[in-house]
Structure 1
């Protein structure tokens, strides 16, 4: 695993090599800003799903987040900033830990940009595992966590806010998930060339990790 402070760029020579070997480029947004814009409807859907899970155990209202009909009151303090940073780290860790051999991989990158954190791997990964890597932060933090915290009676307004924020921040992940489900066959493996994703069918007798 390598630490970076910017997104790795695509390698044109690697692109040509992948095409020659039968890899198919996915049809996906070429820029992060474009992906964010396309994922805005999914942001709302993800937030509603997370709110629905929270509502099983606890009431939830705009008032507890400082939003009322006549005013907006937002309190930003050191603990909240710390929790936001921790949320960002946890989100990326839940992507990272499902990448096979991520610790020893020299094709896996972890980093932080102005748009948030990122995890990119150029390892060859089966579709089912790739889907798990893509959706893990949303399922873990915004679905499973509120279920567990709700059963324990620990859903505070601050935690509710962070859970919903993570759901909204997972919208690009959900967009990627939908693109994979639509374009990539069941028996396929995926890899990346910088921010771009490729897939190809698995040979019946091919051994994969």
Structure 2
């Protein structure tokens, strides 16, 4: 794993090599701004999902966050900034821990930019693993945590805010769920910078015949 301070760029030589080896370039937003704009509707959907889960055992309203019909009161202090940074780090760690052998990998990156934090791996991974890596922060932080915290009476207003904020920040991750539908079920994925490629690897015919004989 490598720690970097900017988003890795696509290597044109690797791009040509991958296409020459029958890898297919996945159709996806070409830059972060486009991804954010396309994922905006998913911000709303994700937020309502989290609010719905919170309401199962708890209550939530705009007044909890200082928003009232006649006034808006928002307090920002050092502890608030610390919690926001902590949420950002935890969110990205949730992506990271589901990447196979991320500690030993020299093709897996974690970093911070002015736009936030990111995790990216250029290792080959299965489609199912790609899905898990993408949605892990949303499912764990914004769906599972509020249920557990509510049951034990630990869901405070601050935690509600962070859970919803995580839902908003998960919109690009959820966009990946729609983008990945263009990839066959048994495909392998590989990244080259921000470009994603997929390929269905052919099983050696002789090995397949030997495997069939075992059954």
TM-score category of the 2 structures, normalised to the smaller one: over 0.9
| Partner secondary structure for residue 99 of structure 1 | coil
What is residue 202 of structure 2 aligned with on the other side? 203
Q: Hey, what does 2:103 align to over in structure 1?
A: 103
Match of 2:189 in 1: 190
Counting only pairs closer than 5 Å after superposition, residues 122-201 of structure 1 correspond to structure 2 as: 122-180=122-180, 182-201=181-200
TM-superposition CA deviations, 1:42-69 (whole Å, max 9, x none)? 0000000000100111110000100001
Number of positions where the alignment pairs a residue of Structure 1 with one of Structure 2 = 206
Looking at CA atoms only, which structure, 1 or 2, has the larger radius of gyration? 2
CA distance 1:190–1:75, change in 2 (3 Å)? same
Q: TM-score, normalised by structure 2?
A: 0.94
Q: Hey, what does 1:8 align to over in structure 2? A: 8
SS in structure 2 opposite 1:48?
helix
How far 1:202 sits from its partner (Å)? 2.7
- Structure 2: distance between partners of 1:200 and 1:98: 21
Question: In the alignment, what sits opposite 2:31?
Answer: 31
Query: How far apart, CA to CA, are the structure 1 residues paired with 2:132 and 2:120?
Result: 14
SS at 1:123 equivalent: coil
Measure, in 2, the Cα distance between the counterparts of 1:59 and 1:203. Answer: 52
Is the partner of 1:197 in helix, strand or coil? strand
Task: Report the RMSD for the aligned CA atoms in angstroms.
Answer: 1.2
Q: After superposition, what is the alpha-carbon deviation per residue over 1:77-122, rounded to whole angstroms, capped at 9, x for unaligned?
A: 1221111111000000000000011001000010011111000100
Q: Distance in 1 between matches of 2:53 and 2:190?
A: 33
Gaps of 5+ in 1: none
SS at match of 2:68: coil
Q: Which runs of 4+ in 1 moved over 4 A?
A: none
Partner SS, residue 59 of structure 1? coil
TM-score normalised per structure 1: 0.96
Following superposition, the deviation at residue 204 of structure 1 comes to 2.8
